[in-house]
């Protein structure tokens, strides 16, 4: 039986993959959470969490959007956005109102207070960039790779979801 419970016996190439595999997804996860910690500190002054900050970024850029479009920009669904938007509304930063044209749609727009918050948020990116210690081009290249990775994973996920559909 021995004390070492794993990595015994044959352990073909799989085992190496297993380690590598942990590395990439784990590194990604860890980097994402490390970003979260830094943002948490910087955004506390603004009274925003990081996902709320992302929503505000989109609204600052586009002004006013239905929940659906907001979710498409952020890759988030209503299950995540609905409570988040309610908290932003409770904080007085956004308002939600049913579209008159289509009663199913809820348009989210900034309050004056929400729009004004942008001025203070302008200071954030520079401090984040400084915290990464990366140059602009290095960030840009990393971003390009991550986006490519995301696209590949999304494609794989949907293909995996319907598995071997072979839709003729």
Partner DNA sequence: CCCCATTTGATTGTGCACAACTAAGTTGTG
Partner DNA sequence: CACAACTTAGTTGTGCACAATCAAATGGGG
For a second copy, the binding residues in 33-92 under the rule CB under 8 A are 33-35, 37-39, 41-42, 50, 54, 57, 60-61, 63-64, 74-75
Q: Which does 68 bind (CB under 5 to 8 A by kind): a second copy, DNA, none?
A: DNA
Nearest-Å Rg of the Cα atoms of the chain is: 21
Q: Any idea which residue has 């290249």 for tokens? A: 141
- What's the rounded Cα separation, in Å, for the pair 68 and 87? 18
Q: Which does 167 bind (CB under 5 to 8 A by kind): DNA, a second copy, none?
A: none
CA 2 to each of CA 5, 14, 16: distance values in angstroms, whole numbers, following the listed order:
7, 22, 22
Task: Sort 54 into a burial class: Cβ within 10 Å, 0-12 / 13-18 / 19+.
Answer: middle
CB of 47 to DNA, least distance (A): 10
Nearer to a second copy, 63 or 92 (CB): 63
32 binds a second copy (CB under 8 A): yes
CB of 32 to a second copy, least distance (A): 4
């Amino acid at each position: 039986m021995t004390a070492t419970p794993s990595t015994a016996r044959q352990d073909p190439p799989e085992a190496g993959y297993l380690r590598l595999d942990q590395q990439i997804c784990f590194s990604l996860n860890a980097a994402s959470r490390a970003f979260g910690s830094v943002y948490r500190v910087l955004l506390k002054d603004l009274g925003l969490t990081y996902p709320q900050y992302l929503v505000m970024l989109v609204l600052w850029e586009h002004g006013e959007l239905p929940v659906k479009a907001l979710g498409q920009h952020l890759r988030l669904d209503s299950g995540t956005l609905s409570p988040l938007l309610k908290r932003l509304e409770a904080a007085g930063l956004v308002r939600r109102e049913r579209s008159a044209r289509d009663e199913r749609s809820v348009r989210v727009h900034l309050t004056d207070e929400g729009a004004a918050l942008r001025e203070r948020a302008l200071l954030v990116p520079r401090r984040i960039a400084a915290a990464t210690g990366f140059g602009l081009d290095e960030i840009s290249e990393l971003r390009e790779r991550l986006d490519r990775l995301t696209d590949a994973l999304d494609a794989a996920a949907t293909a995996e979801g319907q598995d071997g559909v072979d839709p003729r």
